[in-house]
Amino acid sequence: GTAVTFSGTTGNATFTGIITATGLDINGHTELDNLSIVGVTTFAGAIDANNGLDVVGGSTLDNLNVSGVGTFTRIFLPDNHKAQFGNEAGNADLEIYHDATNSVINNKTGDLIIQNSADNKDVIFRSDDGSGGVTEYFRLDGGNTNMVASKTILYEDSVKASFGSSE
């Protein structure tokens, strides 16, 4: 192809058709209606996408700030990385994380409320059944307003079980 060089030029340049560039250095303000980039691209400063940003494939970001609604099909947090809610990062009111051994829901303020608002549906507590499967141990039955124990309840020595309205 033919090389085109602009140096010290001011004003407008108009191109029609496809432009293929192996290196492009733009200083200053540039308006592009449609830009397609193939391969690795490095941006030295922030990218401001006011009308949406569509990323197909993987993307690694050190920091992502989303204002408004963000839709994600998958969020992966490695061990010991916390999803934090409320207050501020590092001093969150609620944390959900996996510490490489256990999964943790850590509430640091107020009551922790688990609520099912679906009509006539239950809150079901399941765990390993000791044989490689999972089974129900306890259920809050929303249809019958009952608490159902599906397995034997064992009380530690010197712990009382109270029935009725008094201890």
| Ordered per-residue pLDDT tens for the chain, 167 residues | 566 666 666 667 777 777 777 777 777 777 777 777 777 777 777 777 777 777 777 777 777 777 778 888 888 899 999 999 998 777 899 999 999 999 999 999 999 999 999 999 999 999 999 999 999 999 999 888 889 999 999 999 999 888 888 76
Q: What dihedral angle (degrees, nearest 10) is formed by the CA atoms of 18, 24, 28, 30? A: 20
Is the pTM above the cut of 0.75? no
CB atoms within 10 A of CB 118: 7
- Return the residue matching tokens 């107020």: 110
Among left, alpha and beta (phi > 0; psi -120 to 50; other), residue 39 is left
Compute the distance between CA of residue 22 and CA of residue 123 in angstroms, rounded to an integer.
Answer: 59
Cβ-contact 108, 94 below 8 angstroms: yes
Q: Cα–Cα distance between 37 and 7 in angstroms, integer?
A: 24
Rounded Cα distance, 20 and 153, in Å: 72
